[in-house]
Amino acid sequence: MKVVAFNGSPRVKGNTHQALEMVLEELNKEGIETELIDICKEELKPCRACGACGRNKDSRCIMNDDRLNEYIQKVKEADGILIGSPVYFGSMTAQTKALIDRLGYVGMANGYLFKRKVGAALAINRRAGALCTFDEINKLFLISQMIVPGSSYWNVGNGTRPGDITSDEEGERTFRTLGQNMAWLLKKLS
């Protein structure tokens, strides 16, 4: 079993990356393979609404000059995905949005490619907006017929400078419980 995680923060070693690692550590403890991808290491272009994914039905985005098609393939092969974003102006980062729009549209246009896979979101803020961002990411999973595990709180954490998240005790507990519940759910579904 495998879970692929996508970090939507341009700070590749920032709080979101660290929070995702907390979830993945719990999955690893349960024997689940994981991969963490920092999507901001390379440019990810936004959806241009050309509709080619709906016409071609080849499980690909027609834009071939970034790594989105590789990400689609990774999600297709995985049992679960995890998407994390910092909060920027009350919402997810532009890079996370580009991932979600294109991944989601290709998936839906090709007979719900990600149907019944497990999906989980997390969001990190300095002060406000994490809950809204968490809800936004979950919308991808729910419209894609995916299954969403819960935790002991909504999957949000607090931090400003990279590393601050390690001081958010309740945040860390929430992320670790999410990892444990995600592992439990993946095993039940397998």
Ligand X SMILES: Cc1cc2nc3c(=O)[nH]c(=O)nc-3n(C[C@H](O)[C@H](O)[C@H](O)COP(=O)(O)O)c2cc1C
Give the residue nearest to ligand X (CB).
14
> Which among 29-37, 98-106, 108-116, 154-162 is the span making contact with ligand X, rule CB under 6 A?
154-162
Give CA 16 to chain center in angstroms: 11
Q: Where are the strands (E) in the chain, listed by range? A: 2-7, 33-38, 80-86, 118-125, 156-158
For tokens 């819960």, what's the residue?
A: 150
160 forms part of the interface with ligand X (CB under 6 A): yes
> Which among 35-43, 46-54, 141-149, 156-164 is the span making contact with ligand X, rule CB under 6 A?
156-164
For the chain, how long is the longest CA-to-CA vector? 48
By CB under 6 A, the count of residues binding ligand X is: 19
154 forms part of the interface with ligand X (CB under 6 A): no
> Which among 33-41, 49-57, 88-96, 177-185 is the span making contact with ligand X, rule CB under 6 A?
88-96
Nearer to ligand X by Cβ, of 18 and 177: the residue is 18
The CA distance from 118 to 148, in Å, is: 6
74 forms part of the interface with ligand X (CB under 6 A): no
| Residue 188 Rama label (left phi>0; alpha psi -120 to 50; beta) | alpha
C-alpha distances out from residue 22 to 136, 149, 184, Å: 21, 16, 16
Q: Where are the strands (E) in 2-155, listed by range? A: 2-7, 33-38, 80-86, 118-125
Choose, by CB under 6 A, the member of 34, 110, 125, 155 that binds ligand X. Answer: 125
88 forms part of the interface with ligand X (CB under 6 A): yes
> Which among 13-21, 62-70, 112-120, 177-185 is the span making contact with ligand X, rule CB under 6 A?
13-21
Residues found near ligand X in the complex (CB under 6 A): 9, 11, 14-16, 86-90, 124-129, 159-160, 162
